């Protein structure tokens, strides 16, 4: 990298970012010409930034259930509540998110009350408006009793006391209900009722999948249950259409905006496999939701964890067993906290498989297995083999065949355990090295992407904090450049003897 003008790199980098995403490659070629070193330097920064803009941070942006792991939300001053938006009279604020505000509003013609989602006053970047329009497009594909209905989408004057601006809005069905888990607790639902409820949620998710839409942010607070017991899925703002041209349908998200909840994300989602996500990622989220509905807890405890550690846990550590998370409030057979049937454990375990090829292929398959259990039929997740049938028979005739089945299970389990130990012994060293190196690279990539996102929202201290999580052994020139971008007062940035970006005057400071 010696000979590359640092200021030129920054200048070209900004020019490339100012261009639409589908034209960035062309702008990069035009601005760099035959200067290969300059092009490579800028390209590395652009790729790191795009991971924050539309890749890892689009997926892993990082709010746990009730506990912030590492909020990347851009904080902007709030304006007063408007009294009117387009043709809608504002009644009250229903909720606020990273992108917009949801109001209860009244429309005169036709006469109805709606949930009106408006981009937050004072915000409205082109990327944010694209994402907002994407949510309207996604909802326009979907017509199901389990999905909030959209009435219209448009743009209108947002009028307050002494101020007026034009912002996009979406008018949706107003759902008067409770979040899924809160509904279960407030109504004291038995286990059977909770299973029936999650199957209905899965029906709505399947409808979205059949219309080419992956939700990508399923969680209890995005599922309201109305007074009639009908669950309704909300917030398709981060959903993705699954047409063949992914580049034209992937949600483009402002860096740093909260668009997901880490606790409910699949391993492939937190890893940043944005382009390859499919319906099985939502199936994983359904598994987490069912786990929480039945136990009151989450399969992974991520409270207080650094971002990189939380990602590693979801990717590598097995979730808690359902039975180990029962809270034991009642203990009756119908209590949600009673000892769980093995079939329920199997259904949840299959939905939470880290290898998506071992999960249910669709939300419909998940719902079907839940209903098979409710109807006391053999579930697909455990094929009706001879051993499975014997186990079922033994459950009904414990005295007659209990000893025989126990012996058979012990023998089979022992053989499987011995084989697994032998395989692990031969591969353990190589896998350990590979996993450690991969984890360090992932942590480095995550830290740079998060730092760039923080810089985009002018949070220099936050960016420095993320950079501090990057493994020192992997820090190269781009780390130092981003460090300088986070703290413009650092003027002693220079090129090291072998081309590395370096900071400070001592050997210990060379990156």
385-395 b/e with 16+ CB inside 10 Å = b?
Answer: eeeeeebbebe
Phi, psi (degrees; rounded to nearest 5) at 233: -85, 135
- DSSP symbol at 147: B
Clarify whether 217 is annotated catalytic. yes
Q: Which of 217, 254, 263, 369 is catalytic?
A: 217
H or E segment at 174?
Answer: none
Query: Which has the closest alpha carbon to 452: 4, 17, 143, 2?
Result: 17
CA 79 to CA 122: how far, in whole Å? 7
H or E segment at 207?
Answer: helix 191-210
Spatial neighbors of 84 by CB under 8 A, at least 6 apart, are: 90, 157, 158, 159
99 preceded by a cis bond (ω within 30 of 0): no
- 223-226, strands of its sheet edge to edge: 177-179, 223-226, 231-233
Spatial neighbors of 286 by CB under 8 A, at least 6 apart, are: 198, 201, 202, 205, 218, 351, 363, 366
Structure tokens at 38: 């300059």
Angle between helix 398-456 and helix 477-486 axes, rounded to 10 deg: 70
Query: Which has the closest alpha carbon to 255: 117, 99, 134, 135?
Result: 99
Q: How many CB atoms lie within 10 A of CB 192?
A: 12
HEC profile of 44-93: HHHHHHHHHHHCHHHHCCCECCCCECCCCCCCCCCCCCCCEECCEEEEEE
Nearest 5 degrees, angle CA 377-CA 381-CA 385? 75
CA 90 to CA 84: how far, in whole Å? 5
Q: Which residues are catalytic?
A: 217
């Amino acid at each position: 990298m010696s000979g590359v003008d640092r200021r030129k790199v920054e200048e070209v980098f900004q020019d490339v970012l100012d261009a639409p995403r589908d034209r960035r490659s062309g702008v990069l070629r035009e601005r760099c010409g035959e200067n290969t070193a300059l092009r490579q330097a800028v390209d590395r920064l652009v790729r790191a930034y795009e991971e924050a803009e539309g890749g890892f941070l689009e997926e892993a942006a990082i709010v746990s259930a009730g506990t912030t792991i590492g909020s990347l939300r851009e904080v902007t001053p709030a304006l007063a509540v408007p009294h009117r938006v387009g043709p809608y009279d504002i009644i009250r604020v229903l909720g606020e998110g990273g992108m917009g505000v949801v109001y209860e509003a009244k429309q005169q013609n036709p006469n109805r009350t709606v949930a009106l989602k408006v981009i937050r006053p004072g915000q409205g970047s082109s990327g944010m408006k694209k994402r907002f329009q994407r949510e309207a497009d996604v909802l326009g594909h979907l017509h199901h009793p389990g999905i909030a209905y959209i009435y219209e989408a448009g743009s209108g004057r947002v009028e307050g006391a002494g101020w007026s601006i034009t912002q996009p809005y979406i008018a949706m069905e107003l759902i008067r209900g409770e979040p899924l888990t809160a509904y279960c607790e407030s109504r004291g639902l038995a286990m059977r009722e909770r299973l029936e409820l999650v199957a209905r949620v899965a029906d709505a998710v399947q409808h979205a999948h059949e219309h080419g839409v992956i939700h990508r942010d399923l969680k209890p607070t995005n599922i309201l249950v109305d007074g009639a017991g009908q669950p309704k899925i909300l917030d398709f703002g981060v959903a993705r259409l699954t047409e063949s041209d992914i580049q034209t349908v992937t949600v483009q998200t402002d860096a740093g905006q909260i668009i997901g909840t880490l606790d409910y994300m699949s391993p492939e989602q937190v890893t940043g496999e944005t382009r390859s996500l499919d319906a099985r990622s939502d199936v994983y989220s359904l598994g987490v939701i069912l786990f929480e509905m039945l136990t009151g807890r989450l399969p992974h405890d991520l409270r207080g964890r650094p971002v990189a550690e939380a990602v590693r846990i979801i990717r590598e550590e097995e979730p808690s067993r359902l039975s180990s998370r029962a809270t034991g409030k009642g203990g009756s057979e119908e209590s949600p906290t009673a000892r769980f049937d093995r079939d329920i454990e199997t259904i949840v375990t299959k939905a939470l498989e880290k290898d998506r090829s071992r999960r249910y292929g669709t939300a419909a398959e998940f719902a079907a297995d839940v209903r098979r259990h409710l109807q006391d039929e053999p579930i697909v997740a455990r094929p009706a083999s001879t051993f499975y049938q014997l186990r079922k028979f033994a459950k009904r005739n414990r005295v007659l065949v209990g000893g025989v089945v126990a012996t058979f299970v012990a023998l089979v389990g022992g053989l499987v355990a011995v084989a697994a130990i032998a395989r692990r012994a031969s591969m353990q060293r190589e896998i350990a090295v590979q996993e450690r190196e991969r984890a360090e690279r992932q942590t480095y990539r995550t830290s740079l992407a998060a730092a760039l996102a923080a810089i985009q929202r002018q949070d220099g201290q936050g960016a420095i904090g993320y950079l501090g999580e990057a493994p020192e052994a992997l820090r190269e020139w781009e780390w130092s450049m981003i460090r300088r971008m986070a703290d413009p007062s650092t003027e002693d940035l220079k090129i090291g003897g072998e081309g590395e970006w370096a900071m400070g005057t001592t050997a210990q400071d060379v990156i």
